[in-house]
Structure 1
Amino acid sequence: MRVHGRVRGAVAAACAALLTPVLLAGCDGGPASPPESKGPRASDGSPSAASASSGPLDWRRCGAPEDGEAPGPAWRCATVRVPLDHAEPDGRTIGIALIRKPATRKSERLGSMLFDFGGPGGSGVGILPRAADAYRELNTRYDLVGFDPRGVAASEGVRCRDDEEQEKSYREIDMTPDTAAEEAAFVADGRAFGAGCARLSGAVLPHVGTTNAARDMDLIRAALGDEKLSYFGISYGTELGGTYAHLFPERVGRVVLDAVVDPTADSVGHARNQATGFQRALENYFRDRGQDPGAGTRRTAALLRRLDTDPLPTSSGRELSESLAVTGIVTPLYSKSGWPSLTAALDEAEKSGRGDRLLELADSYNGRDADGHYGTQNHSQRAISCADTRARPTAAEARALLPEFRRLSPVFGPFLAWDTAGWCAGWPVEGEHDTPEASAPGAAPILVIGTTGDPATPYEGARRMADELGEGVGVMVTNKGEGHGAYGESPCVTSLVDAYFLDGEVPADGRTCS
């Protein structure tokens, strides 16, 4: 259960029709279907410099494959060709799917604004049309552009297992193993997942890391005809934006990073941060409900212990296990608007002995639809994460983390400790680094927004990102509030970001929004 970087904040409105008001993993769903560009492939012989298709992109109206309907009359899709391996720019190319909504005030157009909504593994082609209303003010002067990063959805999306295998894993694998047999099954499942990725997506698997995606972003910038990149990165999109700024500081235009991933944390550090962040959010939830946070935590942890041996029944015939329950609890903590659904789900489980609501929340997070089909965002997320990090903690090392992680969070700590070992166990591709590089000397000012109650990317990481970007580059904005992502949730933050993007007004470093 990797909880890193789900998309939230302003895009919550895009998924109002889902089970809960917050944007769940399942909302990332199927992207619109972009046609292949007929332009020449990207190459200029330098893996670190911009190269893109010569000639204009072939923008065409695009529709969603599941219903044949277009996102709207203004939306167009295209594909930009990029090297599969940026170290071999004249080798095989792959297509990166794009979607665009032109600026509404063409005479005042400033250029294109590229978005990454997080994950990793979120489909920008699928999300942006659903989220665009939140960015109407920015759309007056910018073309809004979403993309599927390499290894995601329409851009050579990684696939690792089928629906039956995925369901079997969620049903049978204990994510906090208590016995030698459970631990062996846990580790074996992680290795089987990686083997499936290698079998089904082996050609792209070594090349789906964040550095390669950042190089693709520079090719997209050039293909769009922009001298500098204007970019809005949310959650994992902040890591991607920081990587871009490090690689191409001279091409940084106006860039905003919201719900920031800590660039100084390794894989264990991220798990430690999230144990802290989700526990903080859970305690804030209990306080908001007029309950003692310590008592609420103990009651929730006791519920999970009961589920470890006695899963709850549901009307679907499936059972709510401990592992699925903790995923269901995580889901509504991403946004304060989801807290009422958490109350209803916990009440049903504790008072009625039924697991329907928590299971529905877990299914939404895991990308499972009503017919039992699973999306592939989790596949892409795992492949990108494991391509990035060199760390491969063992089961013994995860076990050694348990006392500390239980102290950090009796509810989420054990799952996150074990996750460090299960996520990239036996991964068939070596990782690139321990922590990403985000220093960007000489870049234009970049807005870095941290929310004090953010569960998934805790506030402290934003300050570290601002420091890593460098003096005069990282401009820190603190949002005192709850949830994962501030734009569209905080009027103060939204106003600052709009003024920055539209008028070039850079707020003072250290500005606070309440």
Structure 2
Amino acid sequence: MAHFVRWTALTAAAALLVTGCSGGSSDGGEAGGKTSGTSSSPSSAGSATSLPPSLTSQKLDWGGCEAVGDSPAPGDEWRCATLKAPLDWAKPDGETIDLALIRSEAKGDDRIGSLLLNFGGPGSSGVSTLPWYASSASELAERYDLVSWDPRGVGGSEGVRCRSDKEIQASESVDITPDTAAEETAYFRDAGAFGKGCQKSTGALMAHVSTTDTARDMDLMRQVLGDSRMHYFGISYGTELGGVYAHLFPKHVGRLILDAVVDPSADAAGHAENQARGFQRALNNYLESTGQGAEEGSRKIAGLLKRIDARPLPTSSERKLTETLALIGLIRPLYSEANWPTLTSALEAAEEGDGTELLALADDYNDRDATGHYATGTHSQRVISCLDDKQRPTVEEAKRLLPRFEKVSPVFGPMLGWDTAGWCHDWPVAGQYDTPEVSAPGAAPILLVGNTGDPATPYEGTQRMADELGKGVGVMLTWKGEGHGAYGKGSDCVDSAVNAYLLQGTVPKDGKVCS
């Protein structure tokens, strides 16, 4: 099934550029309103002070990096290594797994330490993304070793694959906004089959790929890399990961940047509603930029989707553009304002009866190459997020949510409303918490960068993360922009504030706004 993902990786916004990667309301509560957090998870066992020397005294063997997928091997300045981490953090002396790391050493003489980067997802490969992203972080590379990794369950770190290419393509014919009992049965049958496929291929690892597990991996990396404090740049889902790290290890927090901030107060349904609001807001902004009214333009697009649902559009290949693929194709260019003209062209072609351009956008989003091979980032993402999410809305609960979601977004609301029940339907492993615990009393100031036009992580989440981190910890920087994320997107104001924080330790005034 072509599920829409919770938070996509930064790379999803960049691949199209010519120059270039639940039950709750989105009006989520204040800090202190949680009923459960990461501390209730079995994976929260095993503190940094109790780790065996076999883990903390590892010597990383940095060598040349190999090609990853269709991407060529990075240049000689990049070195790769493997870190061993416990499969189960409750048993640090037990079985281990291998985590793939990549690094470029600081180019200048005034080295600060390592800067660990996570590009989102969950499910994004840091090993393949960092070399591409490095041009955006050239100033940071002077004084930091840039380091990233494939989180557990991703890519070179025991990456999971839940379906074959043939099975993935077949699932794209499943209607993700079912209109009949038969379509609803097919939707949930496919969702349940996906989880079973993950369990079959992943085994014991499936219960040990949570955000909490990865946050503990990060602190092990910090120790093995020789850093007394964690310097970290998290983007999109990487902001949730950074918040969980700060909660678990507040005294180890150095300079943490969280860009495109996830709302930590939202549960699974709340995140889906947030995204419905965020993508509709981005679509409205796009429609206004073309001279169309947002309401009229959205009505027109919703009508197009209904026609495609009834009669899929032909394309230049043998494949048809279904409503499912059309929705994914619409989402794709909303990640960057630079791609809005691409959306215009694709919509015009679809109105004329040609689905080729929207299909190409959907394939790009779904990581499908020209040979029909699919990458597995969305597999990893689903395994991770379903292990995190304790709440599993039922079919009946999803149906009750639909009117509200459709009001929030007439274009994306139906898909995301059904997704609240479909994403982790009949999942074979229990979830760990309703919402992540990110309170970090005593931590050094953490810089939160919010973009008012962000579609995938709506701006409101920035304030909620600041509230939950705690007074004096979360410092907000706002950019009045478009697209997913803010740093490196063309704002000198944002870039200079982030660079000053990371390079000089200068914390901007809380509430600073860049227009």
Partner of 2:66: 63
Partner of 2:47: 48
Distance in 1, matches of 2:193 and 2:13, equals 34
Other structure's SS at 1:188 match: helix
Question: Which runs of 5 or more residues in structure 2 are unaligned?
Answer: 22-43
Offset, 1:289 = 1.1
Partner of 1:128: 130
Partner of 2:207: 206
1:93 and 2:96 equivalent?
A: yes
Partner of 1:188: 189
Distance in 2, matches of 1:229 and 1:398, equals 40
Cα distance change on mapping 1:286 and 1:465 into 2, 3 Å: same
Partner of 1:29: none
Q: How does 1:68-467 map to 2 (within 5 A)?
A: 69-105=72-108, 107-171=109-173, 173-350=174-351, 352-467=352-467
1:322-349 CA distances to partner (integer Å, 9 max, x unpaired)?
Answer: 1110100001001101101100100100
Aligned CA-pair RMSD: 1.6
Q: CA contact under 8 A between 2:68 and 2:128: conserved in structure 1?
A: no
Distance in 2, matches of 1:406 and 1:21, equals 35
Distance in 1, matches of 2:440 and 2:18, equals 39
The total of aligned residue pairs comes to 486
Cα distance change on mapping 1:511 and 1:318 into 2, 3 Å: same
Offset, 1:393 = 1.2
1:238-268 CA distances to partner (integer Å, 9 max, x unpaired)?
Answer: 0000000000000000000000100000000
Distance in 1, matches of 2:136 and 2:413, equals 34
Cα distance change on mapping 1:68 and 1:411 into 2, 3 Å: closer
Offset, 1:198 = 0.4
Cα distance change on mapping 1:486 and 1:65 into 2, 3 Å: closer
Give 1:211's aligned amino acid. Answer: T
Offset, 1:69 = 4.8
Q: CA contact under 8 A between 2:239 and 2:260: conserved in structure 1?
A: yes
1:274-319 CA distances to partner (integer Å, 9 max, x unpaired)?
Answer: 1111111000001111111111000000000111110000011100
Give 2:493's aligned amino acid. Answer: C
Partner of 1:512: 513
Other structure's SS at 1:331 match: helix
Give 2:205's aligned amino acid. Answer: V
Q: CA contact under 8 A between 1:386 and 1:424: conserved in structure 2?
A: yes
Q: CA contact under 8 A between 2:88 and 2:208: conserved in structure 1?
A: yes
Offset, 1:374 = 0.5
Offset, 1:402 = 1.0
Cα distance change on mapping 1:116 and 1:510 into 2, 3 Å: same
Distance in 2, matches of 1:69 and 1:455, equals 31
Other structure's SS at 1:113 match: strand
Partner of 1:26: none
Q: CA contact under 8 A between 2:4 and 2:328: conserved in structure 1?
A: no
Give 2:112's aligned amino acid. Answer: L
Cα distance change on mapping 1:481 and 1:225 into 2, 3 Å: same
Give 1:500's aligned amino acid. Answer: Y
Distance in 2, matches of 1:69 and 1:454, equals 31
Give 1:155's aligned amino acid. Answer: S
Q: CA contact under 8 A between 1:12 and 1:22: conserved in structure 2?
A: no
Offset, 1:78 = 0.5
Offset, 1:19 = 7.4
Distance in 1, matches of 2:350 and 2:19, equals 20
Q: CA contact under 8 A between 2:13 and 2:333: conserved in structure 1?
A: no
Q: CA contact under 8 A between 1:110 and 1:141: conserved in structure 2?
A: yes
Give 1:165's aligned amino acid. Answer: E
Cα distance change on mapping 1:217 and 1:452 into 2, 3 Å: same
Cα distance change on mapping 1:139 and 1:178 into 2, 3 Å: same
Q: CA contact under 8 A between 1:21 and 1:337: conserved in structure 2?
A: no
Offset, 1:407 = 0.6
Q: CA contact under 8 A between 1:333 and 1:339: conserved in structure 2?
A: yes
Q: CA contact under 8 A between 1:258 and 1:449: conserved in structure 2?
A: yes
The worse-fitting range, judged by mean Cα deviation, of 408-417 and 61-70 is 61-70
Offset, 1:3 = 3.2
1:107-131 CA distances to partner (integer Å, 9 max, x unpaired)?
Answer: 2000000000000000000100111
Offset, 1:22 = 7.7
Cα distance change on mapping 1:217 and 1:289 into 2, 3 Å: same
Offset, 1:8 = 2.9
Q: CA contact under 8 A between 1:175 and 1:415: conserved in structure 2?
A: yes
Percent identical across equivalent pairs? Answer: 60
Offset, 1:97 = 0.7
Give 1:139's aligned amino acid. Answer: A
Give 1:383's aligned amino acid. Answer: V
Question: Which runs of 5 or more residues in structure 1 are unaligned?
Answer: 24-44
Distance in 2, matches of 1:377 and 1:48, equals 29
Partner of 1:5: 7
Partner of 1:31: none
Distance in 1, matches of 2:317 and 2:70, equals 26
Other structure's SS at 1:384 match: helix
Offset, 1:67 = 6.8
Partner of 2:41: none
Offset, 1:399 = 1.1
Distance in 2, matches of 1:6 and 1:91, equals 33
1:434-466 CA distances to partner (integer Å, 9 max, x unpaired)?
Answer: 000000000000001111011110000010001
1:369-404 CA distances to partner (integer Å, 9 max, x unpaired)?
Answer: 110000000100000000000111121111111111
Offset, 1:499 = 0.4
Cα distance change on mapping 1:509 and 1:65 into 2, 3 Å: closer
Other structure's SS at 1:122 match: coil
Other structure's SS at 1:396 match: helix
Give 2:391's aligned amino acid. Answer: A
TM-score by length of 2: 0.92
Give 2:236's aligned amino acid. Answer: S
